[in-house]
Amino acid sequence: MRNIAMTVSYDGTHYSGFQIQPGVDTVQQMLMNAVQKVTGESCHIIASGRTDAGVHAIGQVINFYTESNIPAERWPIAMNTVLPRDIAVIAAVEAPFNFNARKHAVRKTYHYYIERDRKRSVFTEGLAHHHPGHLNVNEMQEAAQMLLGEHDFSSFCSLKSTKSSHVRTLYSVDCVLEPHPLHGPGLLPQLVVKVSGNGFLYNMVRIIVGTLLMVGRGRKKAEEVQAILQAKNRHLAGPTAPPEGLFLWQVEYDNLQFPT
């Protein structure tokens, strides 16, 4: 029995999230179907974490056990041949037998893409959040710095969370302007909120972004974010930003490296 780990990218637009649910299309189900087509085995797929409906992934990490002797480097082609066009395996490695994509993740990074003003790209439908008005990016960046470090993030967590502890550590939160190569001359760079931490609660990145957007619009002051954090009260933070701007970008492990 071998433990195969993979990085997986998907466009979440047409899926009801990562996790299997009866009667709807999910990324996990598509991956299980693909492994079954490749190996003839039914398998259980472990992921670094779930993503919500409409959320995308650049570097989701999964692992599963198989009796198949397909070499690790052949797995991406084998899987991509049978996967739908909006899910792709980027890389695969044979992992230590006890490796678990969820339990062993030490750092996760998300990117949230925002198109501002009336500048819209025709190529980012479902892949960015369109914010019609002006945003004060400097103020957003100042507010973002209040979230760094170890905190109880109850204010930035869905009320539906079932976790016993809401303490997590954020390593970086940055609001940066980055040109998109398909934007070309004449279009403003996109605003990207990049968040890295040791773990994330249900809707945590989207609530952080929703709160930073209120700061960017001048509806909250940067300093207020510290009080919101300390209050541990979901009702004080901003709304949950829509899913389409969010990408699970990278998941890192101490005991596993993927080939580049």
- Binding residues for its own copies, rule: CB under 8 A, are 7, 9-11, 56, 58-59, 76-77, 80, 85-88, 90-91, 118-123, 125, 127, 178, 180-187, 247, 249-250, 258, 260
CB of 58 to its own copies, least distance (A): 3
Q: Are 151 and 229 spatial neighbours (Cβ–Cβ below 8 Å)?
A: yes
φ, ψ for residue 161, nearest 5 deg = -60, 140
Angstrom CA distances, 65 to 39, 121, 188, 225, stand at 11, 42, 46, 44
What number of other Cβ atoms are within 10 A of residue 73's Cβ? 12
CB of 251 to its own copies, least distance (A): 10
**Which residue, 9 or 145, is less far from its own copies as judged by CB?**
9
**Which residue, 48 or 155, is less far from its own copies as judged by CB?**
48
CB of 166 to its own copies, least distance (A): 28
For Cα atoms 158, 226, 137, give the angle at the middle one, nearest 5 degrees. 90
**Which residue, 79 or 143, is less far from its own copies as judged by CB?**
79
Is position 110 annotated in a ligand binding site?
yes
CB of 16 to its own copies, least distance (A): 17
Q: Which of 11, 25, 52, 86 is catalytic?
A: 52
- Concerning whether 52 is annotated as a catalytic residue, the answer is yes
> Locate tokens 């649910």: which residue?
21
**Which residue, 53 or 187, is less far from its own copies as judged by CB?**
187
Q: Are 112 and 68 spatial neighbours (Cβ–Cβ below 8 Å)?
A: no
Binding residues: 110
- Positions annotated as catalytic residues are 52
